[in-house]
Amino acid sequence: MSQQDSTKKFFNSRREFLKKAGLMSGAGLLPMILPAGQAMAEPYQRKRNEAAMIPGKPVRVRGQVTSEGSPVANVAVTDGLRLTETDSDGLYELYSDGRRPFVYITVPSGYKIPLNPTGTARFYERIKPGDDDIAEISFELEPRRTSDDHHHFLLLADPQTEDMYEVERFHSETVPDIANLVPEFGDKPSFGLGCGDLMFDNLELFPEYEKAVYKTGIPFFQVLGNHDILFDVRSTEASYEVFYEYFGPAYYSFDVGEIHYIVLNNIFWHGTGYVGYIDRDQLDWLEADLARIEEGRTVVVSMHIPVLSLQYRRLGHNNPPTHISVSNREELYRLLEPYQAHILSAHTHEHEHVFEHGVHEHIHGTVCGAWWSGPICWDGTPNGYGLYEARGSELRWTYKSTGFDLGHQMRVYKKGSDPDAPHEIVANVWDWDPEWKVVWYEGSDRRGRMSQRLGRDPKSVELHSGDDKPERRPWVNPQLSNHMFYAPVSGDDRDIVVEATNRWGEVFTGRI
């Protein structure tokens, strides 16, 4: 079935599903539990934008932002290009046109993230002008009862489910792992980011993603990935339509505590493929959005395709290919220069830290690993997700392996596991960056630092090498990684311990 036929089938089945059940269905087994403070809403009806605006026709959008009956001032309101702020009465007004589908706000610090009944963030509304070409759109915010300066968030890269087998693994492996982790945050606010490729082209499965994030009990924002779009369309803008129907705008910002969060859409579909690219409207919007943020503040930017993956260097190429990097990244770096900026990305199915132009980019191992072919990504990083903690303006992070505790930060292999290093033990320390120290012990004797160099994870070689491996995705191959460590061992390797210390002094150990 082509994606076009699949999408038509999806909308027909979706209408019938919603007509019968609203949000809930007996077969869905979605628990009747809402995040704390969230009241049960009316059955959630999703429709195509029946009141579509005429492209280019001016629309006057106005409204108010309030909280518990009082106005909220200085809230950014945008249509994705023009940006204004609410006045002292919480009022705003901006002029939009038929090319802009949404008006939305930057949810300010101190307020809860508004939710759709599915648990996804609802900070937006469709622009539907009346006969007088005026759209009245207001927003209501709920204040937090405790400070959000200390908060947590999760980054889920590439759930990328293509069929019900993969959906079941997402629901039975990833979701319970998150649900068990969230209570550890206590009363600290938390949220999630689905960092693109929520689907693997099968957009009919978006409701399964919604069910999954709903069961985690925390609000989720979404990033558009290259597998979350329509292909048989006339333009890149049209390719985003189904994503819009479920999750709203593809780029936006919000504040939690002292940190300013930004989500960007860097998927540009040109009819026969895609490239990483941030279009002019987004850059103009981003410049206006950042103009409100004081210099030196911590800014976290999420997007699907890495701004710069160093995979090309590991493969011996001269330039980064445009399908795994952002072709106009220099302009983004320029806009982020005044800030303590982190970029969070996904897409490559490997884990990597990149430091460029004063920006720290975190490229994440994926929820689906090597496309749900087994328990690891093709660089050996376990299936998992990013865990972040913010205390004021300070950001800390770790990689959470699905099904393991937070101490699971490496895999150690016996001497000779890498045929190119027959006398050396091997350790894969997947969340390594240059601030880490990795040493090895033989018995109680500290032998020194291990050598960090390019290599392939032996488990990935075992699972992914060969014309028929892995069975579900035979095109997956073990990849060179820069987080492999080696040490020579002359004798028995049974008493070997590897110790890795991260940039905050936390110590992790691993044994063969």
Place of tokens 């981003």: 286
- Confidence check: pLDDT of 215 > 60: yes
Exposure class string for 464-476: b at 16+ Cβ within 10 A, else e: beeeebbeebeeb
**Whole-angstrom Cα distance, residue 93 to residue 89?**
12
Question: Collapsing DSSP states into helix, strand and coil, what is residue 481?
Answer: strand
For 406-457, where are the alpha helices, taking DSSP H only? none
pLDDT of residue 40: 31
SS3 content of the chain, % helix, strand, coil (to 5): 20, 30, 50
503 found inside a domain? yes
Residue 57: predicted pLDDT: 83
- H or E stretch at 167: helix 164-169
Residue 54: pLDDT band (50, 70, 90) is low
Residue-averaged pLDDT of the chain? 91
Place of tokens 């390594």: 432
Across residues 407-415, what is the average pLDDT?
A: 97
Q: Is 139 helix (H, G, I), strand (E, B) or coil?
A: strand
Report the range out of 21-25, 55-59, 444-448 with the highest average pLDDT.
444-448
- Give the whole-angstrom CA distance, residue 13 versus residue 106: 34
Is pLDDT of 28 > 50? Answer: no
Cα–Cα distance, 386 to 153 (Å, whole number): 8
Give all strands (DSSP E) within 410-506, no chain letters. Answer: 411-413, 424-428, 437-442, 445-449, 451-456, 480-488, 496-501
The confidence band for 10, taking pLDDT boundaries of 50, 70 and 90, is very low
- Cβ 194 vs Cβ 301: under 8 Å: no
Q: Is the pLDDT of residue 387 over 80?
A: yes
Do the domain assignments include residue 450?
yes
**Percent of the chain clearing pLDDT 90 (strictly above):** 86
Flag whether 449 is in a domain: yes
Is 385:194 a contact under the CB 8 Å cutoff?
A: no
In the 8-state DSSP scheme, what is residue 280?
A: H
| pLDDT band of 45, cuts 50, 70, 90 | very low
Strands (E) located in 309-450? 340-345, 352-356, 359-363, 384-391, 394-401, 411-413, 424-428, 437-442, 445-449
Q: Could you tell me how far CA 237 lies from the centroid of its own chain?
A: 21
Residue 378 near residue 350, CB atoms below 8 Å = yes
Residue 478 has pLDDT above 60, yes or no: yes
- The DSSP code sequence of 180-230 is HHGGGGTTS-EEEEEES-SBSS-GGGHHHHHHHHHHHTS-EEEE--TTSS-
Burial class from Cβ neighbours inside 10 Å (0-12, 13-18, 19+) for residue 161 reads buried
In a domain, 491, yes or no: yes
> Residue 455: CB partners within 8 Å, gap ≥ 6?
418, 420, 421, 426, 480, 481, 484, 486
* Residue 266 lies inside a defined structural domain of this protein: no
Number of helices (H) and strands (E) in the chain: give both, helices first.
9, 30
Mean pLDDT of 219-240: 97
pLDDT in tens, 135-155: 999 999 999 999 999 999 999
Q: Does the structure show a pLDDT above 60 at 441? A: yes
Contacts of 27 (CB under 8 A, 6+ apart): none
Stretch 455-484: mean pLDDT, rounded?
A: 96
What is the domain-level CATH number for residue 437? 2.60.40
Among 97, 93, 92, CA closest to 81: 97
End-to-end CA distance of the chain: 47
Cα dihedral 322, 481, 223, 217, rounded to 10, equals 170
31-47 average pLDDT score: 34
CA atoms within 13 A on the CB side of 435: 11
470 pLDDT exceeds 60? yes
Which one has a higher pLDDT value, 18 or 90?
90
72 contacts 141 by C-beta, under 8 angstroms: yes
Number of C-beta neighbours around residue 350 at 10 A: 25
Q: Check residue 11 and give its pLDDT.
A: 47
pLDDT of residue 493: 82
pLDDT digits (tens, 9 = 90+) for 279-326: 999 999 999 999 999 999 999 999 999 999 999 999 999 999 999 999
Exposed / middle / buried, residue 163 (Cβ in 10 Å: 0-12, 13-18, 19+)? exposed
- 137 in any annotated domain: no
pLDDT at 97 (0 to 100): 87
Q: How far apart are CA 458 and CA 262, in angstroms?
A: 37
Number of domains, the chain? 1
For 479-495, the pLDDT digits (tens) are 999 999 999 998 888 89
Secondary element (H or E) of residue 332: helix 329-336
313-327 tens-digit pLDDT: 999 999 999 999 999
State the pLDDT confidence band at 444, using cuts at 50, 70 and 90.
Answer: confident
Least confident of 115-129, 343-357, 449-463, 490-504: 490-504
Question: What pLDDT does residue 492 have?
Answer: 83
Cis (ω within 30 of 0) for the bond into 320? no
- Residue 387, beta-bridge partner list: 154, 398
Read off the pLDDT band of 47 (50, 70, 90): very low
Residue-wise pLDDT tens digits, 157-201: 999 999 999 999 999 999 999 999 999 999 999 999 999 999 999
Q: How confident is the model at residue 20 (pLDDT cuts 50, 70, 90)?
A: very low
CA dihedral sign, ordered 188, 347, 300, 81: negative
**Token digits for 90?**
């919480």
Show the domain range for 425: 411-511
> Is it the case that residue 2 has pLDDT exceeding 90?
no
256 confidence band (pLDDT: 50, 70, 90) = very high
Q: Which of 123-132, 288-297, 429-438 has the lowest mean pLDDT?
A: 123-132
Domain-embedded: residue 474: yes
455 pLDDT above the threshold of 90: yes
CB 451 within 8 A of CB 486: yes
d(CA 54, CA 20): 32
On whether residue 403 sits in a domain, the answer given is no
What pLDDT is stored for residue 55 in this prediction? 64
